[in-house]
Amino acid sequence: MAIIALVSAKGSPGVTTTALACALSWHRRVVLAECDPAGGSILAGYLGGALDGPRGLGELAVGELRDGNLDTAFWSQLVDLDAPRRERLLLPGVVDPAQAGSVIPLWQRFADFFTGLERGDPPYDVIVDCGRLHVVGTPWPLLRAASVVLVVTRAQLPDLSGTRAMLKTLERDFAEHRVEPGTLRLLLVGDGHGKGEISKALQLPVIARLPHDPRTAGVLSLGGTVRAGRPLLRAARELEVPVGALLDRRRARLAWPVSQGVPDAL
d(C-alpha 37, C-alpha 48), whole Å: 21
For residue 256, the model assigns a pLDDT of 54
d(C-alpha 103, C-alpha 62), whole Å: 8
Proportion of the chain above pLDDT 70, given as a percent? 93
Give the pLDDT confidence of 5-28 residue by residue, as tens digits: 999 997 667 899 999 999 999 999
* Secondary structure of 83-108 as H, E, C letters: CCCCCEEEECCCCCHHHHHHHHHHHH
Q: Highest mean pLDDT: which of 61-70, 235-244, 254-263?
A: 235-244
DSSP state of 57: H
Instruction: Between 236 and 37, name the one with better pLDDT.
Output: 236
For residue 231, the model assigns a pLDDT of 97
- pTM comes to 0.93
For residue 151, the model assigns a pLDDT of 97
Domains, the chain:
3-249 (3.40.50.300)
Mean predicted lDDT score pLDDT of the chain: 91
Residue 174 has pLDDT above 80, yes or no: yes
Band of pLDDT at residue 52, cut at 50, 70 and 90: low
Instruction: Between 214 and 100, name the one with better pLDDT.
Output: 214
Residue 253 has pLDDT above 90, yes or no: no
For residue 260, the model assigns a pLDDT of 47
**Average pLDDT for 48-70:** 87
Band of pLDDT at residue 266, cut at 50, 70 and 90: very low
For residue 218, the model assigns a pLDDT of 95
Name the percent of the chain in helix, strand, coil, to the closest 5.
Answer: 45, 20, 35
